[in-house]
A and B are shown apart, each in its own frame.
Chain A
Amino acid sequence: MSIVPSAIVSAPSPWRRRLRAERVSRIGFAGAAALSLVVVVLVILFLTVNAWPAFVHIGIDNFFGSATWDPDGAVYPAGRYGALTPIAGSAIAVGLALVIAIPVGLALAITLAETGRNVGERVFRPAIELFVGVPSIVYGYVGLVLLVPQLEKIAPPGTAGQGFGAAAIVLGVMVVPTIATLSADAIQSVPATLREGSTALGATAWQTLTRVVFPAARPGIISSIVLGFARAMGEALAVALVIGNVARIPSPASGLNFLLYPTMTMTTTITDGITNLGANPKAEAARYLLALVLLLITFGCVSAIRLAQRRSETSR
């Protein structure tokens, strides 16, 4: 097991001391790794325990089999717990956000990685990395004050510009820096010999990029998209400000208005319930169950992509 030769183990004190330090730090690292696992398990346990009344009093069939979501009894005094509306809302909002963020993020990544060291590294990268750290409330506030009033001008009567469109744009802009910087790292880490070989064989810059660099950098690019997806999926504050929080998925037949009718996501309805903690145990349990579903969806997607990635790597 030990990688330290036995001659060193029996060596006098300076070596011994270093060895002990190494052993202690190894235990420390293993402890940190174990702690992160324990935290994940505890989070799942906590959500499951708190969501348990929902399994008992609402029922899984009711929860996943209906789209009428009114846990606080605003319209139906007994409450309605059809979670399909917030689940579909999250899926659509995040899907649309990625449609915006992936092309823009990858284009930025190429600019970062392939333009001259000076401009890309010294100007673009710090600027974009800064955007990763901008708090989400800032994105949400800018979206509410600048974007929503513009969308309102083309929105259908009785609405205010809040909906999937505004949410997708805000979320898209939010995850672009994540995708751009991590993808740029992946592209930059492709060995120069591969590019040189490709160029030497007569490939154009575009051919080198699409047929050599991208395939080689694919695992890193996919990781960046997965992280962007996770951030968009879990974002609550920014989305809550611009999506309207109305429990309804617009009809796909409404064309462009599909993007302009107010709707909700899992995170926004969970945030809404925070002001109401302790007042309605059944609604609270329903929201815990929703949080559990959100966690499992994110887990599931991340694992599925990782699994597919590993399979494609071994088959290559």
Chain B
Amino acid sequence: MPRSRLLGAGLAVASVVTLGACGDAASTSSGPASQAALATPSPVATCVSGSISADGSSAIKALIQKAADNYQAQCAGTTITVAATNSSTGVTKAASAAVDIGDSDIPAGLVQGVDASTIVDHPVAIVLFAVVVNSGAGVTNLTSQQIRDVYSGKDTNWSQVGGANLPIAVFERTAGSGTRITFDKDVMQGTPETTNAAAVINTTQSVVQSMSTTPGGVAYLTASSVSGSLQAVSIDGKAPSGSAVAGGSYPFFSHEHCFTKPQPSLLTLSFLQYIQSAAFQNGDLTALKYLPLSTTTRKAAVDQ
């Protein structure tokens, strides 16, 4: 008996080690990672003490968390609690004052059951998205119309849009995903995505994994998640970049929002001002691969 227990324990340790490895792999492939932070944090101009909480979109958790870490490190007596669930929860909690700040990828008007007029929108960053293909597809540029034809299921082979003779495998995101909502509004412009998808996926990490092993795959992602055999395509000749967004020619981006009640606490205001300050926007925020608000004054369709 003792020997079998020993063997069991050994195998258990081995499986825990494997698990740990899996976890690492998942976190390195996930969008903006905290490792990208700057050596010296962006300075806080005016400190307010107290405690506030934030909850909402997981897509900007890294950003809010970084800002909170910087703020707390530089301002004594301040506690900023940052949680992440999803955009709808963030907006709902901001409206019911369950948190001081509700983070969201999408405007409050797109969340059902919330009166958007009871909360105030503070844009904090711009997120760049990209349509990606596996490098096996042999395309580097697609027109908006071609993307709509691919995603509506009209075109089923890459040769129909100038690529290799390879069947197209369409990867979609789960309905309700901020990325999907933005893609459907700004790129598909109302044309429904095909019901013959190769898979409908609920996390960015799984999209990256599935895309990397599917030569004919096509998907849409946050641009910062594009890696390995994934190739971001140019849309109407414009590669996804801050300058293309600035020039108004690249349609696939959206604002990240922080929602508060109309009269937030001084600390809430000071914290949001810190995130919006030029020092943070051009410092830590850019290092985390978000685009600063100053990139463009134009709004994506989903933000309107």
Chain A partners chain B: yes
A residues apposed to B, CB below 8 Å = 72-75, 121-123, 125-127, 129-130, 133-135, 137-138, 141, 144-145, 148-149, 152, 157-162, 240-241, 244-248, 262, 271-273, 275-281
Taking a contact as CB atoms under 8 Å apart, the answer to whether B197 and A246 are in contact is: yes
Residues in A with CB closer than 8 Å to B8 are: 126, 129-130
Can you report 20 A-B residue pairs in the complex whose CB atoms are below 8 A from each other? A72-B176, A73-B175, A75-B193, A125-B4, A126-B5, A127-B11, A138-B18, A141-B22, A145-B213, A158-B170, A160-B171, A244-B197, A246-B196, A246-B198, A262-B197, A262-B198, A278-B88, A278-B113, A280-B112, A280-B176
Give 1 or 0 for each of B80-92: 1 = CB within 8 Å of chain A CB.
0000001011001
Known: A138-B19, A244-B198, A281-B113. A276 touches B86 (CB 8 A): yes
Taking a contact as CB atoms under 8 Å apart, the answer to whether B7 and A276 are in contact is: no
Q: How many Å lie between the Cα of A160 and that of B218 in the bound state? A: 11
Residues from 1 to 33 in B contacting A, C-beta threshold 8 Å: 3-5, 7-8, 11-12, 15, 18-19, 22
Q: Interface centre among A121, A245, A247, A273, by most B CB within 10 Å?
A: A245
B residues apposed to A, CB below 8 Å = 3-5, 7-8, 11-12, 15, 18-19, 22, 86, 88-89, 92, 111-113, 156-157, 167-171, 174-177, 192-193, 195-202, 206, 209-210, 213-214, 216-217
- Specify the chain B residue showing the minimal Cβ separation from A77: B192
- Specify the chain B residue showing the minimal Cβ separation from A75: B192
Number of A-B contacts (CB under 8 A): 132
Residues in A with CB closer than 8 Å to B198 are: 158-160, 162, 244, 246, 262
Residues in B with CB closer than 8 Å to A280 are: 112, 176
Besides A122-B3, A126-B8, A280-B176, 14 other A-B contacts (C-beta < 8 A): A73-B175, A75-B192, A121-B4, A125-B4, A126-B7, A148-B213, A152-B213, A152-B214, A157-B216, A160-B214, A244-B197, A273-B176, A275-B174, A278-B113
Q: How many Å lie between the Cα of A273 and that of B88 in the bound state? A: 12
Residues in A with CB closer than 8 Å to B22 are: 137-138, 141
Residues in A with CB closer than 8 Å to B217 are: 160
Q: How many Å lie between the Cα of A241 and that of B196 in the bound state? A: 17
Taking a contact as CB atoms under 8 Å apart, the answer to whether B4 and A278 are in contact is: no
A258 to chain B minimum Cβ distance, whole angstroms, is 15
Q: Interface centre among B88, B192, B193, B200, by most A CB within 10 Å?
A: B200
B118 to chain A minimum Cβ distance, whole angstroms, is 16
Looking at the complex, which one of A134, A158, A281 makes contact with B216 (CB distance below 8 Å)?
A: A158
Taking a contact as CB atoms under 8 Å apart, the answer to whether B202 and A271 are in contact is: yes
Residues in A with CB closer than 8 Å to B201 are: 245
Known: A130-B15, A144-B210. A275 touches B113 (CB 8 A): no
Q: How many Å lie between the Cα of A271 and that of B195 in the bound state? A: 19
- Specify the chain A residue showing the minimal Cβ separation from B177: A275
Residues in B with CB closer than 8 Å to A148 are: 210, 213
Known: A152-B214, A160-B169. A74 touches B88 (CB 8 A): no
Q: Interface centre among A74, A130, A281, by most B CB within 10 Å?
A: A74
Residues in B with CB closer than 8 Å to A72 are: 174-176
B116 to chain A minimum Cβ distance, whole angstroms, is 13
